Structure 1
Amino acid sequence: MATGEGTLRCNGADLAYRIDGASGRPTLLFSNSLASDMSIWDNQVAAFKSDHRIVRYDTRGHGRSSLPEGTPTIDDLASDAIALIDQLKLGPVHFVGVSLGGMLGQALAARRPDLLRSLTLSDTSSETDKPEIWEPRIQGALADGMAPLVEGTLERWFTAPFRAAHPERIEPVRRMIAATPAQGYAACARAIQAMRQTAILAKIVTPTLVIVGREDGSTPPAAAERIAKAIRGAELVVIEQAAHIPPIEQAETFNQHLRRFLSKAAAKGASSAASGPAAASS
């Protein structure tokens, strides 16, 4: 499919998506965090669109995507992504998810490795160590909307020096968080609150890069280490001077690591194809 945007019914949700970049090139599928929309990946689109097809979508209940009735699980969110990949005929893709996007990416990789060329998990976790922290946020959003949660979210997402030095970059993020539908935030926060998927990590066979900001207090380096140790062959990268959203705070460094990993994954895929049954019998 050429560059453009639209909405697709996927697993009961109407998911808003956008496609940028080079048609016929390897596909990068980006999945956003809680309290954000697809614009969280703007820096990556600019960096990769010349040699990749870029597909972004808003998680259900976020941005322009609808929120079906009921409380979703992480597995439901993974099913949304699977349906999007199938309907747009994208696969196999290089999947990149941050925070909540990384959580559903784990479930996607464990269930449907055939849809993936590689898996990048940024600032995420495989289980919720402190589910009690979510209840005040959920109840606050439902009672008062997103406005009271904005500043605390920014403090968790970015280091203090970055917030002070780059108000022009913080302001669009502030507006994005505030614009998140409260019901969508609460529903997806419930999915995170109930998440227990460390046991599925051993099923993941896709080449995997795990990235984390050194100063991420929400999903700290210890959580990233747990994931990287459980996935066979996974690579762990810790980005200095970054908190929970390195794709924005340290975009250049994040992109450098991602590009290197994608090149490595592509070379490995080409090598595997060359040594497959057809090559062996030639």
Structure 2
Amino acid sequence: MSEHNSIMMTNRQGKTLSVQINGPENAPAIVFSNSLGTDHSMWQPQLEALKSQYRVVTYDTRGHGQSDVIKNTTLQNLGEDVIDILNALNIEKAHFCGISMGGMTALWLGIYQAQRFHSITVANSAAKIWTEEGWNARADAVEANGLSDLVASTHTRWFSDKFDYQNNVLAQQTIQSLAHTPAKGYANACRALATADVREQISSITVPTLIIAGAAEPVTTIMDGEFMQQHIKGSQLYVIEASHLSNIEQPEAFTQVFSQFIKSIQ
């Protein structure tokens, strides 16, 4: 029985999260977690490629897309939302793949909720991203002025010069999703990232871990990927010729690396 539905579910804080489920009900589950300022639709290429064999769960991270804006958000909250989604869908164990902010969520889950996951994939992310001052200043600016300044320059961070983002439908949609992200939701996520630092904890991760880095990545660099690989026992690092949103810039390469990794685990 294949299903495709979108549900609004309530997390442990009584707030609403928007969740989408695709694929056969009894197939192994994969949860995809979006980057800062995007929504679940950024995973379209991976969803299309995998939904015939997997139960694919996507969701809008709190403060993004159709999910509630929730103040005083921390990395722990981002991780607990995922556990709440698994519980609501009666999924005992899943593969988890997060990009950027979602990659930090993956690390938190690998540290604190490993029993719920077959694997974690940490794409274009780091055990600590950027600086506390930088994130807090960005949060303040977005709350004061909205997201339009960021929208105008975002393609320079998200995509490499080689990528024709202007003629790529998904890239354009994703830039639009940033324009539609609630400023308060974006700012709350920035503040969560400001204090998120799991460099000391990641060596405790024992769940199979794939790390994907972008070769042209200005934010979460290959060095960040190497740091995680050195500290997470048995983890694999794969570099894709892309910038920050590698799953959109190089969808076939991303999906191939990811699907080979999860197939090797089952």
Find 1:60's aligned residue among 59, 62, 65: 62
Aligned-pair identity (%): 32
Distance 1:97 1:128 in 2: 14
Q: Which amino acid aligns with 1:128?
A: I
Q: Indicate conservation of the 8 Å contact 2:42/2:170, yes or no.
A: no
How does the TM-score come out when normalised to structure 1? 0.90
Distance 1:262 1:199 in 2: 26
Q: What residue number does 1:255 align with?
A: 255
Find 1:42's aligned residue among 21, 41, 44: 44
Question: SS of 2:62's equivalent?
Answer: coil
Cα drift, residue 22 of structure 1: 1.9
Distance 1:232 1:139 in 2: 38
Cα distance 1:152–1:134, how it changes in 2: closer, same or farther (>3 A)? farther
Q: What residue number does 1:243 align with?
A: 243
How does the TM-score come out when normalised to structure 2? 0.95
Q: Which amino acid aligns with 2:253?
A: T
Which protein is bigger by CA-based radius of gyration? 1
Cα drift, residue 177 of structure 1: 0.8
Cα drift, residue 132 of structure 1: 2.6
Q: Which amino acid aligns with 1:40?
A: M
Cα-to-partner distance string for 1:163-197 (whole Å, 9 max, x where unaligned): 46635443212211100010000001101111111
Q: Indicate conservation of the 8 Å contact 2:212/2:237, yes or no.
A: yes
Q: What residue number does 2:34 align with?
A: 32
Please say if 1:177 is aligned against 2:174: no
Count how many residue pairs are aligned between Structure 1 and Structure 2.
264
Q: Which amino acid aligns with 1:83?
A: D
- For residues 179-258 of structure 1, the aligned pairs below 5 Å read 179-240=180-241, 242-258=242-258
Q: What residue number does 1:6 align with?
A: 7
4+ residue stretches of structure 1 with deviation over 6 A? none
Distance 1:206 1:227 in 2: 13
Q: Which runs of 5+ in 2 are unaligned?
A: none
Distance 2:25 2:77 in 1: 29
Cα-to-partner distance string for 1:211-242 (whole Å, 9 max, x where unaligned): 011111110111111111111100000012x0
Q: Which runs of 5+ in 1 are unaligned?
A: 267-282
Distance 2:220 2:3 in 1: 36
Q: Which amino acid aligns with 1:263?
A: K
Question: SS of 1:3's equivalent?
Answer: strand
Q: CA RMSD in A?
A: 1.5
Cα drift, residue 201 of structure 1: 0.7
Cα distance 1:88–1:173, how it changes in 2: closer, same or farther (>3 A)? same
Q: Indicate conservation of the 8 Å contact 1:3/1:21, yes or no.
A: yes
Question: SS of 1:233's equivalent?
Answer: coil
Distance 1:174 1:14 in 2: 24
Distance 1:265 1:116 in 2: 11
Q: Indicate conservation of the 8 Å contact 2:41/2:174, yes or no.
A: no
